[in-house]
Amino acid sequence: MNILVTGATGKVGRAFIDRILDGNELPGATIRAFCHNRVLPEGDRLEIVKGNLSVRSDVEAALQDITHVVHLATCKETPENVMDVTVKGLFWLLEECRESSTFEQFVLIGGDAAVGHFFYPHPVPVTEDQKHSAYPGCYALSKVMEEVMLEQYYLQYDFNGCCLRAPWIMEKDDFKYTLSFGDDVFGGPVWKDLVSDEDAKRYHESRTIPVMLGQDGDPVQRNFVHVEDLVSAILLALGHPEARQQLFNVCMDEPVHYRKVADHLKESRNLPSVEVPTPYHSTWLDNAKAKLLLDWKPEYDLKRLIDEAWDYQRPPDDPRTIWYPG
């Protein structure tokens, strides 16, 4: 198995490559990492190629002798390049794959932004049949277009692909910083914008945990997935006959309930909390299909997600750097 990984320097790409190179999974597999701005060190089973996904010749060269593609490259709220990466780049990948004599399977990592995650009320849990509903902005729109493009290649060319639709992906101390009232907040909501400046400063200094309330006044429940659980799903999907032309929700077994998060942190670390009204809705994905067809099961539950994030100690050579806003 010769695997091309786009977005190889991101959190999922690095975790996926490490699992293959350091463990016993997919023995004999080789990886070609398609890099753009940042690069990885080469190794015995890891080749680095630099290029631009929007340039067809770069994609064609990267796909030489490749059997499987794991497409992780994405953009966030960057309108100036989102179409080059998530539409034009995906198009060239799909075109070159279908014309390749060695190609076997394409694995797309999608996102719950394609169904609007907590921006819209949905019947819960959200299954793979839920209608696309991008929330405002270019990122969610790009997630919809990725899934639609791949589905059309199934119809047009009987293309062998699958999509793993993931919610917000966590690693290391990510989850801790999703709950910060400071400038160091990871992703959204930006809690300090939802309270007064004075309260934000006080909450940040006291490490107060925000309890997100939805439009109905109840604590919000929403999906997360740990990067290691997502990598496990990718490894299972690669070469799996049941993955052919399928969409899978890949997420924790239960949604993260913001009141339960605050209660656990109060009990385990004596951290205070405060309720914060928002315009959002409780919504989460149903992962039953991935568990049934891929025999996949997430290892991270709420307690483990919280405790590992708060216990994580960053080494000096691993500063907290956010390449994307969420």
User: Are the CB atoms for 30 and 45 separated by under 8 Å?
Assistant: yes
What's the mean pLDDT when you consider all of the chain? 94
Q: What is the pLDDT of residue 325?
A: 40
- Which stretches within the chain are classed as H helix? 11-22, 56-62, 82-83, 90-99, 138-157, 174-177, 197-205, 227-237, 258-269, 288-293, 302-311
What average pLDDT does the segment 270-281 reach?
97
* Burial of 222 per CB tally in 10 Å (0-12, 13-18, 19+): buried
Bridge partner residues of 237 (DSSP): none
* Angle at CA of residue 83, ends 174 and 90, nearest 5°: 85
Report the distance separating Cα 184 and Cα 252, nearest Å. Answer: 25
- Asked whether the predicted pLDDT for residue 23 surpasses 80, the reply is no
- Model confidence pLDDT, tens digit, residues 79-135: 888 888 888 999 999 999 999 999 999 999 999 999 998 999 989 999 999 999 999
- Model confidence pLDDT, tens digit, residues 145-192: 999 999 999 999 999 999 999 999 999 999 999 999 999 999 989 999
User: Are the CB atoms for 39 and 48 separated by under 8 Å?
Assistant: yes
* Angle at CA of residue 230, ends 229 and 232, nearest 5°: 65
The CATH number of the structural domain formed by 2-169+223-254+283-299 is 3.40.50.720
What region, left, alpha or beta, does residue 116 occupy, with left being phi > 0 and alpha being psi -120 to 50 degrees? left
**Selected residue with higher pLDDT from 37 and 302:** 302
* Burial of 95 per CB tally in 10 Å (0-12, 13-18, 19+): middle
Q: What is the pLDDT of residue 322?
A: 65
Q: What is the pLDDT of residue 42?
A: 86
- Asked whether the predicted pLDDT for residue 1 surpasses 50, the reply is yes
Residues recorded for the chain = 326
* Confidence tier at 326 by pLDDT (50, 70, 90): very low
Q: What is the pLDDT of residue 324?
A: 53
